[in-house]
Structure 1
Amino acid sequence: MSETVGDYLLRRLRDWGVEQVFGYPGDGINGIVAAFGKAGDQPRFIQARHEEMAAFQAVGYAKFSGEVGVCMATSGPGAIHLLNGLYDAKLDHVPVVAIVGQTARSAMGGSYQQEVDLQSLFKDVASEYLVEVNVSEQLPNALDRAIRVAQAERAPTALIIPNDLQEEPYNPPRHVFKHVPSSPPSTVHSVTTADPAEIERAAEVLNAGERVAILVGQGARRAADQVVQVAELTGAGVAKALLGKDVLPDDLPFVTGSIGLLGSRPSYELMEGCDTLLIVGSNFPYSQFLPSFGKARGVQIDIDGKFIGMRYPTEVNLVGDAASTLDALIPLLERKSDRSWRERVERGVRRWWEVMEREAMVPADPINPMRITWELSARIPDNAIVTADSGSAANWYARTLRMRGNMRGSLSGTLATMGPGVPYAIGAKFAHPDRPAIALVGDGAMQMNGLAELITLKRYYPRFSDPRCVICVLHNNDLNQVTWELRAMGGAPKFEESQVLPDISYADFARSLGLGGVTVTDPERMGAAWDEALAADRPVLLDVHCDPNIPPIPPHATFEQIKSAAESVLKGDPDAWNLLTKGVRTKVQEFLPGRG
């Protein structure tokens, strides 16, 4: 039997080292599905419950493996469903390749069933590379370029293959006019170092500073050792953008934690007090959380010139790989003898973690959500991978979960979409089947799609050498983040018709699938529940009943601001008294005397 286009597609993916494709079948990709059937599970077809989840799984795989994630969907509605996950990849700069079917070429333009203008549909989300393959000779170059561009641009790309072409015999490109060949698959990691003269200028700025602050993002992940060296030489504190939370562990005394609305007070004070700012691999967009313009001199390092010098008026902009550029910068830096700034930063960090512990122990009805991540921090394995969904779960992940060892963590940073927490964790398990994964998910996201993806997790967990995957549901029957946004930004009380969720037992659902399920309603049981889940021989769902009225108060909020907000938004709120008392109890922890 001759090799079909579908057969060749899978062979080329194997050549690229692609071990799994996250997808959902449909007749628009029948020729490719048939090829999977002949390929002996190489690459593996990982069947999600929905194409959007397949895209999220590919994003999670790519984020935690550093390799290209591949997702697949049929024509029409299947292709449409991929979009949210692909936009997540685009906005967080993640390499993902989408392969989608299309109606037969003979039917195109005929308003045929499930015919959608896929070129128009994907032209924004896959703007770096989007192509429809219409003859088999086109395929090698098109697929290879889709993968190479995804790698080089850290972006999603898309390949459209009509379903009739998938079943045709494959003919390679020839050495003739208008045929385009391709080269053997190879991964190229380019290492670029910024201009030496500009690096000298950057050193002059950093050496002149008396109070240096460093902000790192996900682009600094491969330069963690160099960032630590720069911080030691300059006496700097290091704040972390949300996507860079796992760049440095939180047990380093000068690491101030996350920055921004979900960030820490030490990070806020670091930016308020510094006179020099070094930004490494971050596109953190909220300039109000950076030093006031004109107050600090700035240096930025980023591998992509498109995103440099656009968040703060930096006077030296270094376009290059973070690690190699810092390697060139470090010999030019002078060790600061005055360590008073560093000591001030470290005092603030020690104080912050004391405050976080006290806030986590504030009584709640029934469980303070901060206690969930606080208790996890004391128990989480050093090699764990943590995903967080959007919503209030992201607050507690950002603020109270302490990274250590070689832990990894991520969420939907820029799109901030609901729903990726569980599929990210599944993708992470395919990236690292020997490491435990933990997803922190609100009950809104769990009802949106997480429950269905438990079925996917049940199906595939026997393939993982370490079967541990803990899905922790923050069960408060409230779309909590939006409720707080209504109160704090909209000046409106909670509208129960839009915000209250149906009450179900998530643990019972997990147990019905044959997974572990633990219901937690007693705060004193929280630590033991984490111990049980992390010792299990299968994935476990922790159904934690937590209080929706513990406020995610930003670190810079003052009592006067809280009082003003309370007066303006709590009129008519069904939980007004609870909100007021718990908000005061939480905020007051910052002003109690510390242990240090």
Structure 2
Amino acid sequence: MATVGDFVLKRLAAWGVKRIYGYPGDGINGVVGAFGHGDTGIEFFQTRHEELAAFMACAHAKFSGEVGVCLATSGPGAIHLLNGLYDAKMDHQPVVAIVGQQSRMSLGGDYQQEVDLASLFKDVAHDFVQMATTPAQVRHLIDRAMRIAIERRTVTCVILPNDLQDMKAVETPPREHGTVHSGIGYTGHAVVPRHEDLQRAAAVLNAGKKVAILAGAGALHASEALIAVADKLGAGIAKALLGKAAVPDTLPFVTGSIGLLGTKPSWDLMNDCDTLLMVGSGFPYSEFLPKEGKARGVQIDIDPRMLNLRYPMEVGLVGDSAATLEALLPLLEPQAERSWRQTVEQNVADWWKVMEARAMNQAKPVNPQRVFWELSPRLPDDVILTCDSGSCAGWYARDLKIRPGMHASLSGGLATMGSALPYAIAAKCVHPGRPVVALVGDGAMQMIGVNALITLAQRWREWSDPRLVVMVLNNGDLNMVSWEQRITEGDAKLAASQNLPSFPYAAYAELLGLRGIRVDRPEQVAEAWEMALASPVPTLLEMVTDPDVPPLPPHVAPKQMGHYLRALLRGDPDAMGIVTATIKEAWDGLFPGRDKT
């Protein structure tokens, strides 16, 4: 007898699902058990924690273009999914969560592990969250969860009471009043705006003399079109953090990342432009965009809800970014005056000199910028990069040069800690033949990263290319928060809050059967990267770095400077090292490459 659990897997397989990331428990046993009832066509990928499962489902969607699916039991298991699901929701990734629930007759009885899951998931999966109460309902719940996740690029959730999972499946509901007869398949909607709207957008862009383009995650597949439009308009391209791989940093007019973790050329690009073209980005920080009224604006986004949200735009185009840019291109007039482009390119060239100078500054013991600077030219052409939140995201944003063919992502909208390593493992599941590099802070590593390493040690032999490098910035400090306390609050670092316990990351990796390399001298950094990237075994690089090197923003406001000085005067325990490192960084910003002595 085929059960509801069997049918759930069969229906998901019909939708093209090949892998489910999850952790078992009695509330979801009917579905987990169905994996053992024959060839389902779906792999069950056991994680060490449900939060890791949700992160992996999000990364699966990011790196495959498919729907990510995660699974958890009732009560605590379902609760643990939430952080990873919010990561998917805020980065607009299609993820379906399948969660168990106590038996139907117990609901409302204050039963063990009874949680009102429909209410719990109502925010993160607000477009669709439903609990099944009868087998005939399951077909359309799975179909709608998948279809809505794809259409809305969001999280959906199906809740399955454990007694229902073991009941006889109903594959075809009866043809009678009150039943729903759903089907499989999704065709999408129009991806190119109306011609008259394209003409209005072109008129704005053609009138611009200093055009700036901001590319986000929605433009990751539109690289060629973005470059063609930028060339025609003589524009520079800045990138939101999720759009880091949208265009290569090897192009002279690509100014790099924007925002607090961004570059000075991107700051200058936005402040000096007269026209802004925003493509597939929901970049939230208005202080890094042009001053309102100073620049005319055109925005392209597949989601009309995201239009005119970050900057007042004259024209909003609803459509796929690549298809829309390609349709727009013939309507654009070549910009004959190239002085704006030349200024942008000179700013970019000067900035890379600043980055190199800062990376080579002496630190105690290793400058974190050097870790990323030395990695950049050694990245394999087809690498997939994942990065955690924190100070490592700042160095990732600024020091790494993305080349064509590379893929990169992190937790953008949620900016949560703990995502880089599960992202990396999911990337290897999706692309087992590509090398992957995970860039992780020691805070995130101690949260759930050490647990994810156990899964890595278990699964890596299944991959055709075993190269997966986990780089841990070991500075003993929750570094980004320490800097935020100083810069935004004017408070000295609170050691009880910020200091991390010592942990032997490289030795722990060796204990698991992986390779571990500990680096505590700057001259070791380049060689360590080369060894790790050539290793036939996944490798953890423990980089012992200086927490006092400041991630200077592209523009320091007087208020921020005042807070910074006040924090030092309040007796910051790292004040002397911070002052020394800050002077070096500021010097290099003014005189890159010149001797500081």
TM-score between both structures, scaled by the size of structure 1: 0.97
Deviations 1:532-568 (A, max 9, x none): 111111211001100000000001127x777644421
Q: Which moved more, 1:70-79 or 1:427-436?
A: 427-436
- Counterpart residue identity of residue 569, structure 1: A
Structure 2 counterpart of 1:348: 347
Give the conservation status (yes or no) of the 8 Å contact 1:191–1:324: no
Deviations 1:253-283 (A, max 9, x none): 1110000000001000000111111011111
- Counterpart residue identity of residue 212, structure 2: A
SS of 2:423's equivalent? helix
Give the conservation status (yes or no) of the 8 Å contact 2:299–2:307: yes
SS of 1:378's equivalent? helix
Structure 2 counterpart of 1:175: 175
Give the conservation status (yes or no) of the 8 Å contact 2:428–2:463: yes
Deviations 1:2-36 (A, max 9, x none): 11111111111221221111000000011111111
Structure 1 unmatched runs, 5+: none
SS of 1:543's equivalent? strand
Q: Quote the Cα distance in structure 1 between the aligned partners of 2:533 and 2:40.
A: 30
- Counterpart residue identity of residue 528, structure 2: A
Structure 1 counterpart of 2:52: 53
Structure 2 counterpart of 1:567: 565
Deviations 1:425-474 (A, max 9, x none): 11111111111111111101000000011001111111111111111000
Q: Quote the Cα distance in structure 1 between the aligned partners of 2:402 and 2:189.
A: 29
Give the conservation status (yes or no) of the 8 Å contact 1:73–1:99: yes
Deviation of the 1:138 alpha carbon: 1.1
Give the conservation status (yes or no) of the 8 Å contact 2:489–2:563: no
Deviations 1:215-243 (A, max 9, x none): 01111122221111110000000000111
Q: Quote the Cα distance in structure 1 between the aligned partners of 2:30 and 2:197.
A: 54
Give the conservation status (yes or no) of the 8 Å contact 2:490–2:562: no
Q: Quote the Cα distance in structure 2 between the aligned partners of 1:135 and 1:329.
A: 50
Q: Which moved more, 1:317-326 or 1:344-353?
A: 317-326
SS of 1:570's equivalent? helix
Structure 1 counterpart of 2:409: 410
Q: Quote the Cα distance in structure 1 between the aligned partners of 2:567 and 2:112.
A: 50
Q: Quote the Cα distance in structure 2 between the aligned partners of 1:497 and 1:195.
A: 58
- Counterpart residue identity of residue 566, structure 2: S
- Aligned: 1:257 with 2:245: no
- Aligned: 1:114 with 2:113: yes
Q: Quote the Cα distance in structure 2 between the aligned partners of 1:323 and 1:33.
A: 40
Give the conservation status (yes or no) of the 8 Å contact 1:351–1:594: no
Deviations 1:151-202 (A, max 9, x none): 111100000011011111112212222121122x334343421122121111
Q: Quote the Cα distance in structure 1 between the aligned partners of 2:560 and 2:14.
A: 58
Give the conservation status (yes or no) of the 8 Å contact 2:10–2:40: no
Percent identity between matched residues is 55
Structure 1 counterpart of 2:360: 361
Q: Quote the Cα distance in structure 2 between the aligned partners of 1:221 and 1:489.
A: 32
Q: Quote the Cα distance in structure 1 between the aligned partners of 2:254 and 2:565.
A: 36
Structure 1 counterpart of 2:18: 19
- Counterpart residue identity of residue 351, structure 1: D
Q: Quote the Cα distance in structure 1 between the aligned partners of 2:479 and 2:53.
A: 26
Give the conservation status (yes or no) of the 8 Å contact 2:532–2:541: yes
Deviation of the 1:40 alpha carbon: 3.9
Spell out the pairing of 1:124-143 with structure 2 (5 A cutoff): 124-143=123-142
SS of 1:487's equivalent? helix
Structure 1 counterpart of 2:81: 82
Deviation of the 1:42 alpha carbon: 3.3
Give the conservation status (yes or no) of the 8 Å contact 2:491–2:563: no
Spell out the pairing of 1:527-542 with structure 2 (5 A cutoff): 527-542=526-541
SS of 1:489's equivalent? helix
Which consecutive segments of 4 or more residues in structure 1 shift more than 3 A? 39-42, 560-566
Give the conservation status (yes or no) of the 8 Å contact 1:439–1:470: yes
Spell out the pairing of 1:246-285 with structure 2 (5 A cutoff): 246-285=245-284
Q: Quote the Cα distance in structure 2 between the aligned partners of 1:37 and 1:501.
A: 43
- Counterpart residue identity of residue 474, structure 2: H
Q: Quote the Cα distance in structure 2 between the aligned partners of 1:431 and 1:62.
A: 9
Deviations 1:36-90 (A, max 9, x none): 1223473111111110111001111111111100000000010011111111111
CA RMSD of aligned residues (A): 1.3
